[in-house]
């Protein structure tokens, strides 16, 4: 009867999960969740960056240079000249681009850690563990 079972099914009973293995699995899960959060944060910052670029483009089309432009700082709108507003938009865009780069760097380093953990865990557990993200 034992010979009729595929070897892969029998392997599930042979593999013991040690404390160290459980720590690796937990680390993998934490890093996967953190990477997902960072990717969401990157998307939000990219939307904000696009909004600033759109505002900058709209401001360039404005023909009245003497007109004061309201610029939101916190909960308050403060009126500035077109030139000052353009400078503030550029500074905001640069800051967002730097933040996005930093977040992408963190995602990259997490991906490296996850890659190492995948190799270690798949080496021990083979097909008995699923470390692929659900794309639902």
**Where do the domains of the chain lie?**
19-60+82-125
Structure tokens, 118 = 């995948």
pLDDT at 133 over 80: no
Closest CA to 59 of 25, 84, 92: 84
Contact 107, 114 (CB under 8 A): no
- Number of H helices and number of E strands within the chain? 3, 2
H or E stretch including 105? helix 82-125
Note the pLDDT tens digit of each residue in 34-72: 999 999 999 999 999 999 999 999 988 887 777 888 888
Q: Where are the beta strands (DSSP E) in 69-126?
A: 69-73, 76-80
β-pair partners for 78 = 71
pLDDT value at position 16?
84
Q: Give the integer Cα–Cα distance in Å for 42 and 40.
A: 5
pLDDT band for position 132 (cuts 50, 70, 90): confident
Give the pLDDT band of residue 7 (cuts 50, 70, 90).
Answer: very low
Angle, alpha carbons 115-120-126 (nearest 5°): 105
pLDDT tens-digit series, residues 76-126:
999 999 999 999 999 999 999 999 999 999 999 999 999 999 999 999 888
Residue 136 CA neighbour count, 13 Å, CB half: 2
Q: What is the pLDDT of residue 14?
A: 65
Please enumerate in sequence order all residues whose Cβ is within 8 A of that of 114, keeping only pairs 6 or more positions apart, or say none: 28, 31, 32, 35
């Amino acid at each position: 009867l034992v010979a009729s079972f595929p070897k892969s099914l029998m392997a599930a009973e042979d593999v013991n999960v040690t404390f160290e293995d459980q720590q690796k699995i937990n680390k993998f899960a934490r890093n996967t969740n953190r990477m997902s959060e960072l990717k969401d944060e990157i998307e939000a910052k990219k939307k904000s960056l696009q909004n600033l670029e759109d505002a900058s483009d709209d401001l360039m089309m404005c023909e009245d240079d003497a007109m004061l432009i309201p610029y939101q700082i916190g909960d308050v709108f403060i009126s500035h000249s077109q030139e000052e507003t353009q400078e503030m938009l550029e500074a905001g865009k640069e800051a967002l681009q730097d933040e996005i780069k930093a977040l992408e760097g963190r995602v990259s380093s997490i991906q490296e850690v996850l890659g190492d953990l995948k190799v270690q865990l798949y080496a021990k557990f083979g097909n008995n563990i699923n470390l692929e993200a659900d794309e639902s």
